[in-house]
Amino acid sequence: MKVGFFGGSFNPPTIAHYNLIKQAKNDYKFDEVYFVPVNDFYGKIDLINIDKRIDMLNLVCKLDDNIKVLEIEKRISKKLNAIDIFQIIENNYINDDIYFFMGEDNYKKMSDWKDYDKLQKYKYIIFQRYDKKEMVINSQNVLYMKNSENLKVSSSQIRKKLHNNENISDLVCEDVEEYIINNKLYVD
């Protein structure tokens, strides 16, 4: 099988996250794709509990049976680096053709990550950021996916709107918006 993995905080998951993973699944003929949320140890401001982020991702996944959530970091009670996650996935999907998805902003920072030399062996789908020109890639293991939706949506933008009591209905899936409101997330 051809399987893709999209790591991130998904704090909260946006309509852009869903559209990008769906576009990659369709354009590159993936059998399955997984959201892989980081655990609570990740040093991001306003990061809510992983259980709530997983709940929201599962709501997003209801839109497509071949998009799922992989809860690797939830089961491990320590901070993991990208190489740790990639190796766990590689060991669990040994017979599959695996790709890792990430935004071009993270891809550009990857040379600073732990064990960068080992990370280079993996295959990647790099998502164009809505605010960036098309990136030039010089690697056989890397495919660059243009953002066909050109959605200007970010999780931080959604958190700010929620903090200011503004509407987010065009930025997240309907079920995610309802979950955020019912659980009073991202408000003081």
Find all residues with CB under 8 Å of 15, minimum gap 6, and list them: 151, 153, 170, 171, 172, 173
Q: Cα separation of 126 and 146, whole Å?
A: 9
Tokens matching residue 166 = 């503004």
pLDDT digits (tens, 9 = 90+) for 104-146: 888 889 999 999 999 999 999 998 876 666 666 767 888 888 8
Given this model, what pLDDT does residue 27 score? 93
Find all residues with CB under 8 Å of 160, minimum gap 6, and list them: none
Domain borders along the chain are 2-182
C-alpha torsion 156→161→165→170, nearest 10: -120
pLDDT digits (tens, 9 = 90+) for 33-45: 999 999 988 777 7
Q: Cα separation of 62 and 56, whole Å?
A: 10
Given this model, what pLDDT does residue 148 score? 62
pTM above 0.95, yes or no: no
Q: Which residue has the tokens 């010089």?
A: 138
| Assigned architecture for domain 2-182 | 3-Layer(aba) Sandwich (3.40)
